[in-house]
Structure 1
Amino acid sequence: MIRVMLTDDQAMVRGALAALLGLEGDLHIVAETANGQECLTAVEEQNAAGSPVDVVLLDVEMPVLDGLAACRQLKQRFPDTKVLMLTTFGRPGYVARALAAGADGFMVKDAPAEELAEAVRQVHAGKRVVDPSLAVESLSVGPSPLTERETEVLRAAASGCSIDEIAAQVHLSAGTVRNHISSIMTKTQARNRSEAARIATDNGWL
């Protein structure tokens, strides 16, 4: 029996996934959590009870602690637990970021139930599973062209901050922030900050 944990901030999605996967005779849903922090706590509790989680299905976009950050911490603290990332948004950049965080697989939520169940079995068996369409898109888009600092600046810009607010938030001078934004717009081929943020978001770079 494969012990599975579901982590998604949308209760209806969690419930639907639990119902579908629960129909599989070899899969047992041991817990449902609403964000990455709850997931880490629940996995730790299961381990302490002598019933480690085999596979965590982890949503990418969640409050408190997002899926990518949670994945990184899970693999560091519980390396034997497999992580299958799920997303509603088929953004190709997410695949590379998830795999870099240590994910064992990456699927979209609207995949047929039998495919999702098989993906759980595959990652549990030590194989890497990536949704074929996302894998192709990820290769065509390539990794993010932005540096870590540029990503930090663009994330602040995407929330509507002014140059001075961004500078204070990332601890840089206003002039340095302007230089980063200029570089970001060049790399994303965007006409302004808003468009750069949209392009980066659509590609899963933010």
Structure 2
Amino acid sequence: MAEKAPALEVLIVDDHGVVRRGIKAYFEVLDDIEAVDEATDGQEALEKLSAMAAYGELPDVVLMDLMMPRLDGVSATAEITRLYPSVKVVILTSFGETERLHAALDNGASGYLLKDAGPAEVAGAIRAASRDEVFIDSAVAKQLARSISAPPTGIALLTHRERDVLKLVAEGRSNQEIAKELSISERTARTHVSNLLGKLNLRSRTQAALVAVRAGLLPPAT
């Protein structure tokens, strides 16, 4: 009789305790998946992986939330796949925007699930990742297909951060004020302004303000 393969070991990373407990409880009824530890954010996940690596006990898969304090899921995924290439990362998030999907996959994620996915889908994504396959939530995959068949135009070309910057430009904020508002450097603010003007094919901040009003990012002046 063939020996049973060892269970896939998973590190659960989410800043909500109820989510971690729910996932862990589901894994407990499975023979082939085991939750070996949990972390509350990306920074703690990296610390735990470092400790595991020291003992040669890295997990097979990290199940990763995206929006967390200290270190978000995309940044943590990039670090994990760089430092521990054998560890696969599956994203489990409430956010289905294609921009976030691209960011996660570009940084090495092997799967992308929404939190309304069923337990069987979560398990399926973990198993797929262990086989070097990519598993994407069906709702997000449809959205991705639509974005490919209909390339974005106008402000749809902008990232979330660039939209924030565009709104502040339209409010008449200087680069210094934008930097302070968004907790970024003035140089980064200047780069965002330059990028969004380029993407929208605009020559001035005044033109950008008009685009922001037309797009409904802020009300027209009365």
Could you say whether these structures have the same fold, taking a TM-score greater than 0.5 normalized by the shorter chain as the test? yes
1:73-92 matched pairs, under 5 angstroms: 73-92=79-98
Distance 1:132 1:14 in 2: 23
- How many residues are paired up? 193
Q: Measure how far apart 1:159 and its partner are.
A: 9.0
Q: Residue 26 of structure 2 aligns to a residue in which SS?
A: helix
Residue 123 in 1 paired to residue 160 in 2? no
Match of 1:29 in 2: 35
Structure showing greater relative contact order (alpha-carbon pairs closer than 8 Å, 6 or more residues apart):
1
Per-residue Cα deviation, 1:120-171 (whole angstroms, up to 9, x for no partner)? 111111111111220120232358734xxx7655456779994341156432
Residue 191 in 1 paired to residue 206 in 2? no
Q: Measure how far apart 1:52 and its partner are.
A: 1.2
Distance 1:34 1:171 in 2: 31
Alpha carbons 1:37, 1:70 under 8 Å: kept:
yes
Distance 1:139 1:173 in 2: 32
Q: Measure how far apart 1:24 and its partner are.
A: 0.8
Q: Which has the larger radius of gyration?
A: 2
Q: Which moved more, 1:84-93 or 1:167-176?
A: 167-176
Residue 171 in 1 paired to residue 183 in 2? no
Distance 1:176 1:59 in 2: 28
Q: Structure 2 unaligned runs (5+)?
A: 1-6, 203-207
Give the alignment partner of residue 20 of structure 1, picking from 26, 35, 51. 26
Match of 1:140 in 2: 146
Match of 2:76 in 1: 70
From the superposition, tell whether residues 80 and 175 of structure 1 become closer, same or farther in structure 2 (CA, over 3 Å).
closer
* TM-score for both structures, normalised by structure 2: 0.73
Distance 1:153 1:170 in 2: 14
Alpha carbons 1:93, 1:138 under 8 Å: kept:
no
Match of 1:201 in 2: none
Distance 2:56 2:189 in 1: 53
Q: Measure how far apart 1:185 and its partner are.
A: 6.9
Q: Which moved more, 1:32-41 or 1:172-181?
A: 172-181
Q: Residue 141 of structure 2 aligns to a residue in which SS?
A: helix
Alpha carbons 1:3, 1:29 under 8 Å: kept:
yes
Alpha carbons 1:92, 1:138 under 8 Å: kept:
yes
Per-residue Cα deviation, 1:71-116 (whole angstroms, up to 9, x for no partner)? 0000000000000011112222221111101101111111111111
From the superposition, tell whether residues 30 and 175 of structure 1 become closer, same or farther in structure 2 (CA, over 3 Å).
closer
Q: Which moved more, 1:97-106 or 1:150-159?
A: 150-159
1:104-115 matched pairs, under 5 angstroms: 104-115=110-121
Q: Which moved more, 1:177-186 or 1:39-48?
A: 177-186
From the superposition, tell whether residues 172 and 5 of structure 1 become closer, same or farther in structure 2 (CA, over 3 Å).
closer
Q: Residue 64 of structure 1 aligns to a residue in which SS?
A: coil
Q: Structure 1 unaligned runs (5+)?
A: 197-206
Q: Residue 86 of structure 2 aligns to a residue in which SS?
A: coil
